Structure 1
Amino acid sequence: MTIKIAVLGAGRWGIHLVRNFLENPQAHLVAVVDPNPERLEALRSRSVRAAQSRYQFDESIVLATDWAQVRELPGLDAVAIVTPATTHYTLIADALQQGYHVLAEKPLTLYPAECLELCHLAEQHQRQLVVDHTYLFHPAVIGGQTVIQKGILGDLRYGYATRTHLGPVRPDVDALWDLAIHDIAIFNTWLGETPIKVQATGNVWLQSGLADLVWVTLTYPSGFQAYIHLCWLNPDKQRRLGVVGSQGTLIFDELSTKSPLSIQHGSLDQSGNRFTPVNQSHEVVNIEPGEPLKQVCQHFLDCVSNNTTSKVSSGWVGAHLVQILRAITESLEQGGVPVTVPDPLRF
């Protein structure tokens, strides 16, 4: 089954979706929508480039500056929405009502009530709503989940993550909404649970009302706590997350030149009031190669082909992550007071 798909948004991330759908034989890219005519012209005038490949842009692909121009294209099956978060609700709702399956960039929307409505709308129209939480398809995240499930780290104690860089700075959401969702999704997946309480503080320098620096604390039902540092105004680019256990630390370092996933083994041996490090070693965790976004696109196409709900990144998963982010925002706006996270909308 070949799925006819339109991509809404040809910016920094959207262009990668265009490339992946052009490459996938199960997909037939029929339209690209972007309000910027120059981006569209760039698509038409040259091929879409990947690291080692070029994908020729077919002349039959419709290029449009507005969704209204393509929303009734004959035979259209699905849309990928890669537009500012503030536009998601309206576009996703309209696409579902038109009978299209939807792959949406994270976050699903900015408000839990809107997410809930979209999930119900997808069910009502028997269409699939999948959220592009790319890290859930990353080989290192999948491999890390296996390590934790095997109990290699011993008793889990706490987690930490740092996600910093110097731009891009988004005008529609703050650093929390742009960056934290990745690490929260990874922690939730690795731990097999979701936070019940959150706290956050931050600083604003560049844009009024949009935090550039955010510190987050997540507390899980098991008592495990994770600490997240987020900033898009820091030249020291980091993409690092760790889970510390009694027998070692699992580290996902996306920028590592050696391997993104490793275990730093070690523990403390107590003799009286003295503690001595023992069993120290470093282990690289072998993972399967592959582009996570390619896996996202394939997963979406499979969900559409079989008309089955995603078990990895459904609209419901995206909705609960929005619930968590909204609770963190509430804490941030109140100067760091603890905020209880509502029960998941549904899983």
Structure 2
Amino acid sequence: MVNVGIIGYGYWGPNLVRNFSETPEANVVAVADLDPARLQLVQRRHPNVRTTSDFRDLFRDSSIDAVAIATPVKTHFELGMAALKAGKHLWLEKPMSQSAAEAQQLVDEADRRQRVLIVDHTFIYTGAVRKMSEVMNAGELGKILYYDSTRVNLGLFQRDVSVIADLAVHDFSILDHLLSEEPVAVSASGTNHFPGTPENLAYITLFYDSGTIAHVNVSWLAPVKVRMILLGGSQKMITYDDLEPSEKVKIYDKGVSFTDDPQKILEMRVGYRTGDMRAPRLDGTEALRVEGAHFIDCIEQRKPPQTDGNLGLRVVRLIEAATASMCGKGETVYLQKQVRFA
């Protein structure tokens, strides 16, 4: 049994408490939050869970094995480092820190103390993304040509992070998971329509050595909510609509072929292929439940999680690069290749 403490009971904290409470191998011991009303809510929903307004109580409690931090991004580094130095395994919300330098320090500290560090890139644990990964690894799509994502809605405006760190971060983690390579360059443009606030709209393009290109459109200013990914391969193509109640993932046997055969060029150099569409069955288990159980298993088995600190670090580097490009009006930012750990 792994005893868990949770810091932050605002937007995401209640989901963490609920899922860890329902994970057989986990036991939620305490929740810390600065808002007394939030702590009263914890007591009504989970009467056996201790509450405190001082997060340091969780670090001092020797019975707590792991701490999950669901607080504003600007607090992630300080709280995360304190948790690791207290000998706790660490769950950090995304993005894991405000800078790559901070993220690297957290990774190094976790390695030094041999603590499990997981970053909550929840989409990696969804049935949809896992199925997409399975199809790609089986070679069904052929060579990956493009990834095109639209992730827009009206609000929720953030005060401490831009729309890139709030929404594009999901696509950065999904791309990192699906592709066997990292981007070599990033170009981004965006703006904040309300002075003094973070950017609320951005268009990001990522370039890969293989020829794959990824485009991500994120916005807090759209009249409708859209969560759509198009993934194109040389053999088949995938659509992933996260708002679709059923058949979120559809695989199309569609594509194009080109020929240099002189006999065929006279007819048509480009050939179009249209086959069947199938919607594979997906695991409907809540992603956060899958991730929570995975975190506990990693602690018990002393193994690195799928969304470890190194993935979180790569995502933060992409956020920094895209932000720098956006500040340069779309200027291309080239990335150094990082060592990937198995």
Normalising by the smaller structure, the TM-score range is over 0.9
The one-character-per-residue Cα deviations of 1:174-196 (angstroms, maximum 9, x if unpaired) are: 10001111112112222221111
Offset at residue 41 of structure 1 (A): 1.1
C-alpha distance in structure 2 between counterparts of 1:199 and 1:143, whole Å: 29
TM-score under structure 2 length normalisation: 0.93
Name the residue aligned to 1:316: 310
Report the residue type matching 1:24 in the other structure. T
Q: How does 1:101-250 map to 2 (within 5 A)?
A: 101-206=89-194, 208-250=196-238
Name the residue aligned to 1:4: 3
- Residues 156 and 40 (structure 1 numbering): CA distance in 2 closer, same or farther, change over 3 Å? same
Name the residue aligned to 1:33: 32
Name the residue aligned to 2:290: 295
Offset at residue 105 of structure 1 (A): 0.5
Offset at residue 203 of structure 1 (A): 1.8
Unaligned runs of 5+ in 2: 259-263
Name the residue aligned to 2:261: none
Name the residue aligned to 2:252: 264
Name the residue aligned to 1:58: 47
Please say if residues 3 and 28 of structure 2, whose CA atoms lie closer than 8 Å, have aligned partners that are also in contact: yes
C-alpha distance in structure 1 between counterparts of 2:7 and 2:283, whole Å: 31
SS of the aligned residue for 2:304 comes to coil
Unaligned runs of 5+ in 1: 48-56
Report the residue type matching 1:115 in the other structure. A
Please say if residues 213 and 233 of structure 1, whose CA atoms lie closer than 8 Å, have aligned partners that are also in contact: yes
Please say if residues 319 and 345 of structure 1, whose CA atoms lie closer than 8 Å, have aligned partners that are also in contact: no
The one-character-per-residue Cα deviations of 1:323-342 (angstroms, maximum 9, x if unpaired) are: 11111111011110000122
Offset at residue 282 of structure 1 (A): 1.7
C-alpha distance in structure 2 between counterparts of 1:292 and 1:184, whole Å: 17
Please say if residues 182 and 337 of structure 2, whose CA atoms lie closer than 8 Å, have aligned partners that are also in contact: no
Please say if residues 229 and 239 of structure 2, whose CA atoms lie closer than 8 Å, have aligned partners that are also in contact: yes
Offset at residue 89 of structure 1 (A): 0.4
C-alpha distance in structure 2 between counterparts of 1:269 and 1:242, whole Å: 19
C-alpha distance in structure 1 between counterparts of 2:175 and 2:59, whole Å: 37
The one-character-per-residue Cα deviations of 1:51-96 (angstroms, maximum 9, x if unpaired) are: xxxxxx133x221122123321231111000111100000000000
The one-character-per-residue Cα deviations of 1:278-310 (angstroms, maximum 9, x if unpaired) are: 333321122222111001111111111122222
Report the residue type matching 1:285 in the other structure. P
The one-character-per-residue Cα deviations of 1:160-187 (angstroms, maximum 9, x if unpaired) are: 0011111221111010001111112112
- Residues 206 and 296 (structure 1 numbering): CA distance in 2 closer, same or farther, change over 3 Å? farther
Q: CA RMSD for the aligned pairs?
A: 1.6
SS of the aligned residue for 1:70 comes to helix
Point out the more displaced range, 249-258 or 324-333: 249-258
Name the residue aligned to 1:51: none
Please say if residues 116 and 299 of structure 2, whose CA atoms lie closer than 8 Å, have aligned partners that are also in contact: yes
Offset at residue 269 of structure 1 (A): 6.2
Name the residue aligned to 1:50: none
C-alpha distance in structure 1 between counterparts of 2:198 and 2:12, whole Å: 21
Please say if residues 116 and 302 of structure 2, whose CA atoms lie closer than 8 Å, have aligned partners that are also in contact: yes
Please say if residues 264 and 283 of structure 1, whose CA atoms lie closer than 8 Å, have aligned partners that are also in contact: yes
Offset at residue 6 of structure 1 (A): 0.5
Offset at residue 346 of structure 1 (A): 4.7
Aligned length: 334
Offset at residue 345 of structure 1 (A): 5.6
Name the residue aligned to 2:327: 333
Please say if residues 70 and 92 of structure 2, whose CA atoms lie closer than 8 Å, have aligned partners that are also in contact: yes
Name the residue aligned to 1:86: 74
TM-score under structure 1 length normalisation: 0.92
Q: Which of 267, 282, 286 is the equivalent residue of 2:281?
A: 286
- Aligned-pair identity in percent equals 32
